[in-house]
């Protein structure tokens, strides 16, 4: 049974026939302790009852599973679920969760800290070694730590002393772009060249091509993996051991590219098209060309395929060859772009001239970097653009998202009302005043500083039944959020919803 439905039936012990789904846009329900619990279009509920002008129901899943909530008046319900996408606030990084009405559960990246694991533990509470959560597919768009390092924190959470922080999972499939980062220095202490950082490569004319693409990163010698990849391969071993203990096949580990058309055949109710990475044949082997350092100037997004570029760059190469997808569900299209850069985005239309980039929901590439292609964004013509970014330390300060990118999203958005959500802006910090940090090791107080407490993480939700779309974030104030709705006709015409259907407790 697909991952989400398996969670409902095998972990929570529910009968799928007993589940109904919210058909209102937003619901601020009141719990029995008088606190507010927020739900949205497509969220599952059970045991719905109406009496004395109120509707009560029980929450399904997560830490509030089984708790009773109620609203004033009638709750609008539907028998079928919807497609739900959540962009998790992992600060500087990417981490998304997608589930479909048929119950498939897919993750796309996972940040490089505990935040993705903490969200999954809260969202899918109740798992155990005996009853783990099955993830139908885990997509690692590329091998930068801020996109996959946090996936190992999911496995590490199993040993957390706090039960509410633990989550037990096993992925059925793990898809990636075939590139494994090497350590910056060789075993002899020599600094590697840029063209040696991603495996075996050959020079063809003025370009270098990576021919050492792998399906299983564990096949790369341990000494040839950088630290995040060493941790990641150990995590894969542990999940494989779990699957073996459960009597299941090993994880399907696969490198995918533009020709991997059947990779998502397990999803019956949505269509996936892959437009990156774009491999080329070198001899009999698929290969990825090394991308080059961009000419950094204010107009770099206008450069097109012939923009001036410098020498080969390992970081631009691994970013530009991110797994990139277009998901279509009914009339609604989603574009997922990993960390694509201007060179890679310009190459899409050269290598795949017939590929249709148009999408209503646009996962903006590379956290809103200035290194993007304007014509690519223009062709996408999104209604909702979502950006994952966040300040967490000076070491990870990249000034994301850039003003030029945000401006381009506004100009290229479809219609007169473009919607741009950013995890960084959706988060809420409460003022706490002057404080002193205590070093746990010595109990010594450090210098005084002005403190803020994050009381709301900037998660972004997209919900759709294939025609109707609701896009929302939460806020630091209960009973308040930012939410928009629209419908998408079969011809792609979009009509904004003037006023959402909101129910309150």
pLDDT in tens, 244-297: 999 999 999 999 999 998 999 999 999 999 999 999 999 999 999 999 999 888
Q: Which residues contact 362 (CB under 8 A, 6 or more apart)?
A: 334, 335, 337, 377, 380, 382, 384, 385, 386, 409
Inside any domain, residue 54:
yes
Task: Encode pLDDT of 410-448 as tens digits.
Answer: 999 998 889 999 999 988 889 999 988 776 666 566 778
Say how far apart CA 102 and CA 3 lie, in whole Å. Answer: 10
Inside any domain, residue 103:
no
Q: What is the pLDDT of residue 447?
A: 79
Inside any domain, residue 448:
no
Q: What is the pLDDT of residue 396?
A: 75
DSSP strand pairing (502-504 vs 26-31): parallel
Q: What is the pLDDT of residue 445?
A: 66
Q: What is the pLDDT of residue 441?
A: 64
| 90-104, 121-135, 442-456: range with lowest mean pLDDT | 442-456
What's the mean pLDDT in 62-71?
A: 97
Inside any domain, residue 440:
no
Say how far apart CA 236 and CA 391 lie, in whole Å. Answer: 29
Maximum Cα–Cα distance across the chain: 78
Q: What is the pLDDT of residue 444?
A: 63
Inside any domain, residue 36:
yes
Answer yes or no: is pLDDT of 306 > 90.
no
Say how far apart CA 72 and CA 54 lie, in whole Å. Answer: 5
Inside any domain, residue 38:
yes
Q: What is the pLDDT of residue 336?
A: 98
Q: What is the pLDDT of residue 443?
A: 59
Answer yes or no: is pLDDT of 330 > 70.
yes
Answer yes or no: is pLDDT of 497 > 90.
yes
Inside any domain, residue 158:
no
| 7-21, 301-315, 331-345, 407-421: range with lowest mean pLDDT | 301-315
Q: Which residues contact 31 (CB under 8 A, 6 or more apart)?
A: 37, 64, 67, 68, 69
Mean pLDDT of the chain: 94
141 is written with which tokens? 């768009």
Q: What is the pLDDT of residue 297?
A: 82
What's the mean pLDDT in 16-33?
A: 97
Answer yes or no: is pLDDT of 393 > 80.
no
- Say if CB 418 and CB 408 are below 8 A apart: no
Q: What percentage of residues in the chain have a pLDDT greater than 70? A: 99
Inside any domain, residue 134:
no
Total structural domains in the chain? Answer: 1
**Owning domain of residue 10:** 3-82+464-504
């Amino acid at each position: 049974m697909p991952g989400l439905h398996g969670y409902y039936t095998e972990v929570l012990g529910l009968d799928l026939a007993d589940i109904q789904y919210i058909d209102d846009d937003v619901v601020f329900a009141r719990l029995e302790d008088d606190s507010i619990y927020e739900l949205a279009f497509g969220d599952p509920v059970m045991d719905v009852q109406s009496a004395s002008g109120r509707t009560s129901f029980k929450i399904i899943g997560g830490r509030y599973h089984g708790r009773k909530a109620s609203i004033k008046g009638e709750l609008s319900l539907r028998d079928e679920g919807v497609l739900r996408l959540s962009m998790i606030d992992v600060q500087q990084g990417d981490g998304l969760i997608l589930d479909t009405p048929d119950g498939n559960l897919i993750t796309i990246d996972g940040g490089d800290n505990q935040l993705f694991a903490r969200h999954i533990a809260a969202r899918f509470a109740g798992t155990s070694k005996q009853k783990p959560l099955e993830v139908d597919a885990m997509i690692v768009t590329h091998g930068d730590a801020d996109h996959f390092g946090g996936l190992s924190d999911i496995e590490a959470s199993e040993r957390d002393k706090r039960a509410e922080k633990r989550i037990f999972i096993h992925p059925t499939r793990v898809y990636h772009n075939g590139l494994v980062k090497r350590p910056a220095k060789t075993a002899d202490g020599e600094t590697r060249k840029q063209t040696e950082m991603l495996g075996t490569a050959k020079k063809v004319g003025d370009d270098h091509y990576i021919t050492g693409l792998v399906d299983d990163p564990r096949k790369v010698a341990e000494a040839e993996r950088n630290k995040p990849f060493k941790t990641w391969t150990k995590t894969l071993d542990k999940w494989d051991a779990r699957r073996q203990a459960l009597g299941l096949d090993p994880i399907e580990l696969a490198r995918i590219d533009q020709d991997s058309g059947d990779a998502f055949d397990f999803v019956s109710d949505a269509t996936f098209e892959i437009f990156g990475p774009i491999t080329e044949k070198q001899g009999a082997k698929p290969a990825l060309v090394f991308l080059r350092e961009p000419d950094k100037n204010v107009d770099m997004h206008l450069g097109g395929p012939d923009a001036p570029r410098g020498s080969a760059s390992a970081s631009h190469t691994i970013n530009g060859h991110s797994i990139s997808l277009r998901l279509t569900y009914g009339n609604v299209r989603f574009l997922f772009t990993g960390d694509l850069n201007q060179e890679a985005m310009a190459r899409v239309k050269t290598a795949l001239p017939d590929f249709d980039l148009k999408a209503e929901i646009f996962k903006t590439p590379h956290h809103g970097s200035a290194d993007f292609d304007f014509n690519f964004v223009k062709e996408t013509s999104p209604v909702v653009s979502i950006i994952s970014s966040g300040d967490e330390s000076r070491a990870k300060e990249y000034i994301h998202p850039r003003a030029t990118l945000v401006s381009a999203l506004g100009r290229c958005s479809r219609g007169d009302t473009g919607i741009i959500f950013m995890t960084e802006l959706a988060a809420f910090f409460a003022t706490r005043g002057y404080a002193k940090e205590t070093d746990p090791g010595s109990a010594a107080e450090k210098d005084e500083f002005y403190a803020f407490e994050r009381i709301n993480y900037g998660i972004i939700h997209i919900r759709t039944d294939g025609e109707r779309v609701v896009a929302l974030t939460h806020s630091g104030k209960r009973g308040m959020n930012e939410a928009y709705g629209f419908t998408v006709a079969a011809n792609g015409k979009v009509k904004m919803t003037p006023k959402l259907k909101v129910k309150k407790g």
